[in-house]
Structure 1
């Protein structure tokens, strides 16, 4: 083995080592970025949860206010105001439930386009491998 061959081997070995180091550093960087993103997502989820709770309380209080205001405005008994508001909410909830169920029925649990594409790829590969043999 000549000196030139050993220097080429050393150079290749050094390049492989550098590539491995670079890959490790890229993986470590990706991990850190993911940790930061998860931390941000967690903080956002906490804020959204608190906001949902506060908005729910506000919605309940506004519903009580609306029910009492309707009863007072039309000089109805209190139960009639609550009944009317409850009926409106029930109708809105029923419509949203119907629309949501309709959307859920459209969901396909299997990614059909991907499955079809994969089948086409398999067929193409089979055709290529069988035509290469002949």
Structure 2
């Protein structure tokens, strides 16, 4: 009985160490996942605020340029004011459709899930499965 007791304690200690290492690894992977997600979220926020300010300034500038274009068409082309507004509005509607279609295409390429962290977790799970299966055989 004395021969099996130290070996039993060694196996229990070894399994306990493995489980502790596994817990540490999972905590580290979870932290990596959180950090990567926060980084991507932060980059998204900075990009969105830059786009917002740029779009606001562009919209104000575009408004003044469009008013200039409408009144220019009235003078240069001899169109009535309402017809000039119709021409400019129609051109803008066509441009907006093109922009929206392109934006929808680009939105399809956005990845909100952090792929590198998920890949690392999958590798770790696969490694653990291989080790557990190997020990059973």
TM band (smaller chain): 0.5 to 0.7
1:37 is aligned to 2:45: no
Which whole-Å CA distance do the structure 2 matches of 1:2 and 1:87 have between them? Answer: 88
Pair 1:12–1:86, CA change in 2 (3 A): closer
Q: RMSD of aligned C-alpha atoms?
A: 2.5
Aligned partner of 2:70 in structure 1 is: 67
Aligned partner of 1:6 in structure 2 is: 9
List alignment gaps of at least 5 residues for structure 2. 102-137
Q: Relative contact order (alpha carbons < 8 A, sep ≥ 6): 1 or 2 greater?
A: 2
Structure 1 runs (4+) greater than 4 angstroms displaced: 75-80, 87-90
The TM-score normalised by the length of structure 1 is 0.58
Pair 1:2–1:89, CA change in 2 (3 A): closer
Deviation string, structure 1 residues 11-58 (Cα, Å, up to 9, x no partner): 111111111011111111211111111111111111111121122112
List alignment gaps of at least 5 residues for structure 1. 101-134
Aligned partner of 2:134 in structure 1 is: none
The count of corresponding residues between Structure 1 and Structure 2 is 95
1:21 is aligned to 2:24: yes
